[in-house]
Amino acid sequence: MTASTKNTKIIYWLTTGLLAAFILPGIFFAGSKMALEGTAHLGLPLWFHWELSIGKFIGGLILILPFFPKRIKEWAYVAFGIDFISAAIALLAVDGPSGMWYFPVICLVMLIISYITYHQLKEH
């Protein structure tokens, strides 16, 4: 394994691991008062909150577990990209620039880095 491949692998697992650490535990707090109030604050329906919570958990597993096929992982990356972009837009629309809109943007950047390094590793 070359030094470049080793660095790519470290960056991939660091970004993917951080995303998983943020995404996966969310399912255990989906019914919390804070999570439900956050969904209501954005004007989103309760059914969407549950759909998104379950979908994010499944997508997080797909990203972190290595046995999922490449095409399935691609769709998980797309779904999270849409989710993070939509979250940033929703937070900006409701709370304005002083809100937490930048957090989904940070997650999107980590997702992009994870995606790029995932493909670099698949080429080797």
Please state the domain extents for the chain. Answer: 3-123
Which is nearest to 58 in space by CA: 88, 30, 96, 32?
30
Confidence band of 84 (pLDDT split at 50, 70, 90): very high
Residue 38: C-alpha distances to residues 51, 60, 80, 111, 114 (Å): 15, 21, 19, 23, 27
Mean pLDDT of 88-96: 95
Three-class secondary structure of residue 124 per DSSP: coil
Q: Over the range 92-107, which residues count as b (16 or more CB within 10 Å of their CB) and which as e?
A: beeeeeeeebeebeeb
List, for residues 56-79, the tens digit of each pLDDT value: 999 999 999 999 999 999 999 999
The per-residue pLDDT for 31 is: 95
List, for residues 31-55, the tens digit of each pLDDT value: 999 999 999 999 999 999 999 999 9
The per-residue pLDDT for 123 is: 83
Please report the DSSP string for 24-71 in residue order: GGGGGGTTSHHHHHHHHHTT--HHHHHHHHHHHHHHHHHHH-TTS-HH
